[in-house]
Amino acid sequence: MLRLIDFNKAEIARSVFYGGDAGAKDAIIHGGEAWMIKYPKTTRDFVNPQISYTTSPLSEYIGSKIYESLGIPVHETLLGVRNNKVVAACKDFTRKWAGGPSMGIGGSRMEKQLVPFHDLKNSFMSSSLESYSGSGSETLLDEVLAAICGQEDLKSIPGVLERFWDMFIVDAFIGNNDRNNGNWGILIDLKSGELTLAPVFDNGNAFFNKRGLAQMEKRLDNQAAMREDAYLNALCAYKYTGLDNEGQKINPFTYIARGGNADCAAAALRFVNSVNMDSIENIIENIPESAGNLSVMPEKQKAFYLELMRIRLNQALIPAVIK
């Protein structure tokens, strides 16, 4: 059984700050390295909230471990406790922590700069599209693919298109509908200037992280509702282009099943050939139900997550590959 790490006494990494709107974040030192602590976000501003806080740290941990099980580079993630909350700790892949005054306050040294795809797309103008928004935030799929294949820095890095489609498939499998243009990118080595793909990061919006346990239990007893949750009503961050459905968010499973994109089909095949449900079940079953006075992952929640993934795999992804 996984033992949650107690981060309460971890030293704060001064002069290190992390952005994003998914919840509060701390920068700490753990094992001589800089880590980002991701707290669950309060639901007080939500309409009819089912729970007081989202389960995004749990989603971050499980989603990252599933990426790791598939052999896809992903940020190192730990599950722990801090300030009486279940938290995810994500290792900072941009900096080293050397300690001592020679390294500045707290000993932080940036070694790599993260450049999100948003900024790369923002620098790209396409002459191959009839219209182009020119916005780094826009997630029209045609624009995203044009930038991946046409932006000069991205063109120089092997495997970018494959990584995009791998994320498209795995995010569908874990139910992450927030792979926006700021949630993936490249790294620039600040000494050598070498460009590489960043590991996959920011998986906290997976697994219906705003849903309460009572609602999960209710859905578990209704196979039609589970199919709706698993793939029939699924949406991703990317949008269609075209007169009939311009700007509509894509159901990734419908897109995969249509088979109109060879790179997407190849990624689906890679996934089906690599996924190991026994390994994924071990990841989830090894998470404790509680830690001290904190609820971590009750058995019904584990059953809900696993059943969603089994349905997606057996009723949507495998049939799309072998049709």
Q: What is the pLDDT of residues 246-266, one digit of tens each?
A: 789 999 999 999 999 999 999
CB-based burial of residue 43 (10 Å sphere; 0-12 exposed, 13-18 middle, 19+ buried)? Answer: middle
| pLDDT score at 137 | 92
Amino acid code (one letter) for 44: R
| pLDDT score at 132 | 79
E-strand stretches of 31-155: 33-38, 77-82, 85-91, 95-97, 108-110, 112-116
pLDDT less than 50: residues of the chain: 46-47, 100-105
| pLDDT score at 300 | 96
Within 13 Å of residue 220, how many CA atoms lie on the same side as its CB?
A: 16
Predicted structure pTM score: 0.94
Q: What is the pLDDT of residues 120-172, one digit of tens each?
A: 999 987 766 777 787 899 999 999 999 999 999 999 999 999 999 999 999 99
Pair 80, 35: CB distance under 8 Å? no
| pLDDT score at 22 | 66
**Residue 14 in tokens:** 């001064």
Rounded to the nearest 5 percent, the helix, strand and coil shares of the chain are 40, 20, 45
Q: Where are the domains of the chain?
A: 5-322
In the chain, which residue ranges form alpha helices assigned H by DSSP? 56-69, 117-122, 141-150, 152-155, 160-174, 213-220, 223-227, 252-258, 262-274, 277-285, 299-311, 318-322
**Residue 166 in tokens:** 């791998």
| pLDDT score at 241 | 83
CA distance 118 to 15: 25
| pLDDT score at 100 | 47
Q: Which fold has domain 5-322?
A: 1.10.1070
| pLDDT score at 98 | 65
Amino acid code (one letter) for 99: G
| pLDDT score at 286 | 98
